[in-house]
Chain A
Amino acid sequence: MNNFVLLVVVILIAILIVAAAIGIAKLVAPRSYNPQKGEAYECGIPTRGKSWMQFKVGYYLFAILFLMFDVETVFLFAWAVVVQDLGMYGLFSVLFFLLILVLGLAYAWKKGALEWK
């Protein structure tokens, strides 16, 4: 059968699992109202300040690094499929590609982007 038809079936099943579970829970579960229930749970004391705030920049730095490396991994996948046919040529062409990739990592390392401060 066509794979893309099945992909649609799979996505529908995923949505069905969540919708059914939450729907049944909403039908069956008891409901009660209490103003305390609507508060965020932070060790039981009232929350101070908003949680939607500026956050440590280190996480975003790793996200940017990831973006660079992940795109390069996608390029490597296309090459990996044909490397057996390419033989020596494939080895040397990817050697330069990997060299540039490693230079990028080395630069980030030297600049201290991989340190957690």
Chain B
Amino acid sequence: MFDFGVVTNWIHTQLTSVMPEGLAVFLECVAIGVCLLLLYVIIAIIMIYMERKVCAAFQCRLGPQRVGPWGSVQVFCDVFKMLTKEIIIIRHADKFLYNLAPFIVILASVMAFAYIPINRGMEILDFNVGILFFMAASSIGVVGILLAGWSSNNKFSLIGAMRSGAQMISYELSIGLSILTIVVLTDTMQFSEIVMRQADGWFIFKGHIPALIAFIIYLIAGNAEVNRGPFDLPEAESELTAGYHTEYSGMHFGLFYVAEFVNLFIVSSIAATVFLGGWMPLHIPGLDGFNAVMDAIPGFIWFFAKALFVVWLLMWIKWTFPRLRIDQILTLEWKYLVPIGLLNLLLMVIVVVFGLHF
């Protein structure tokens, strides 16, 4: 597999040969920042375009097709339209918290986004407690949503924010437990290391039954965590207008929208990294020719293929199932997913301790 670390090391040595160390590090930080910004925006645009097209396909429509080839410029047009919309702050809102909420939502989203290992050596943050830090970072988002709902001084927003808060914190438990199952199997929490351990088989194959159950729990909980699919009642259009961002207009709303779609990508890419092998190619033992062909495909293409496959799976779920009620959502989490998750964790420990995994 191609190691992107070679490129970054080469850039670092080239920079330090012409300028002092501190300036070189500063320039690299700026470059990484620009890359992160561009990647974040591009992923958001790809996700919005994909959502529209996939949604259209499931409803036997064509989706956007007028602006640009296959409607691909439509999303850019929408971004520019949103930039030219007036930002309205209603009179009774808590101005400070109202303006703070998008910052917190985007902060959580960008911090979680920076953990995604796209290729070998191509991740921005790579702590040795990566998974714990990732979950901590992504759970800040719920604070922003609660603030948005509370500060708007609107009953729809308040109800939406409360539902969203209850739902997101509940389903965070299941995400934690299902990822924990894989941590038991790997004995590391560093994302790059987790991907490296899957060189001889993805964890969904290596951990067989418990890993498969954990993957399914993760998909359900991840879908609920980003307030989508059958779990989208925090912003149920037919009853709450738009939920917690009812009072947000123009670019304020656009930021919530972008964060929601990038969060969908983050959840999917973590599923791809932890369960489906990240940028590791598919290997079938015994078929050397097949493995050689798979090795020739670059790692980031593998990563994006897997992540977008999971995104497509979540979109399929979203456009297939009807919306749940709040009591059904909390029952599903606390009476089914948490006990199953705990049992599954125990099963995985037994599998690991007795060496039953591949």
User: Is A85's CB under 8 angstroms from B187's CB?
Assistant: yes
**Residues in chain B near residue A9, CB distance under 8 A:** 29, 32-33, 36
| One of B48-56, B306-314, B328-336 contacting the partner | B328-336
**Residues in chain A near residue B352, CB distance under 8 A:** 83-84
Residue B74 is within 8 A (CB to CB) of chain A in the complex = no
Residue A107 is within 8 A (CB to CB) of chain B in the complex = no
Given contacts A13-B110, A39-B90, A116-B327, contact A5 B25 (CB under 8 A): yes
Q: How many residues of A contact B (CB 8 A)?
A: 69
Over the window 240-269 of chain B, the binary record of Cβ atoms lying under 8 Å from chain A Cβ atoms (1 yes, 0 no) is: 010000110011101100000000000000
**Residues in chain B near residue A55, CB distance under 8 A:** 158, 162
The contact of A14 among B28, B106, B158, B241, by CB within 8 Å, is B106
Cβ distance A117 to chain B, nearest Cβ, rounded Å: 9
Over the window 259-300 of chain B, the binary record of Cβ atoms lying under 8 Å from chain A Cβ atoms (1 yes, 0 no) is: 000000000000000000000000000000000000000000
The contact of A116 among B132, B326, B342, by CB within 8 Å, is B326
User: Is B154's CB under 8 angstroms from A42's CB?
Assistant: yes
User: Is B110's CB under 8 angstroms from A10's CB?
Assistant: yes
Cβ distance A99 to chain B, nearest Cβ, rounded Å: 10
CA distance in complex: A5, B26 (Å): 10
Q: Name the prevailing secondary structure of the B interface residues.
A: helix
User: Is A5's CB under 8 angstroms from B29's CB?
Assistant: yes
CA distance in complex: A104, B345 (Å): 17
Given contacts A6-B29, A66-B169, A82-B187, contact A29 B250 (CB under 8 A): yes
Residue B1 is within 8 A (CB to CB) of chain A in the complex = no
Cβ distance A44 to chain B, nearest Cβ, rounded Å: 10
User: Is B350's CB under 8 angstroms from A1's CB?
Assistant: no
User: Is B183's CB under 8 angstroms from A105's CB?
Assistant: no
Given contacts A41-B154, A56-B162, contact A73 B83 (CB under 8 A): no
**Residues in chain A near residue B45, CB distance under 8 A:** none
User: Is A114's CB under 8 angstroms from B166's CB?
Assistant: no
Over the window 168-185 of chain B, the binary record of Cβ atoms lying under 8 Å from chain A Cβ atoms (1 yes, 0 no) is: 011011001100100110
Given contacts A11-B111, A52-B150, A105-B339, contact A83 B189 (CB under 8 A): no
User: Is B335's CB under 8 angstroms from A109's CB?
Assistant: yes
Cβ distance A70 to chain B, nearest Cβ, rounded Å: 6
Residue B72 is within 8 A (CB to CB) of chain A in the complex = no
User: Is A73's CB under 8 angstroms from B103's CB?
Assistant: no
User: Is B346's CB under 8 angstroms from A73's CB?
Assistant: no
Given contacts A81-B188, A91-B353, A105-B339, contact A21 B254 (CB under 8 A): yes
Residue B62 is within 8 A (CB to CB) of chain A in the complex = no
**Residues in chain A near residue B88, CB distance under 8 A:** 37-38
**Residues in chain A near residue B172, CB distance under 8 A:** 66, 70
The contact of B177 among A30, A73, A94, by CB within 8 Å, is A73
Nearest 6 A-B pairs (CB), nearest first?
Answer: A116-B327, A38-B91, A14-B110, A25-B251, A80-B183, A40-B154
Binding site for A on B (CB under 8 A): 25, 28-29, 32-33, 36-37, 40-41, 82-88, 90-92, 102-103, 106-107, 109-111, 114, 124-127, 131-132, 150, 152-158, 162-163, 165-166, 169-170, 172-173, 176-177, 180, 183-184, 187-189, 241, 246-247, 250-252, 254-255, 326-327, 330-331, 334-335, 338-339, 342, 345-346, 349-350, 352-353
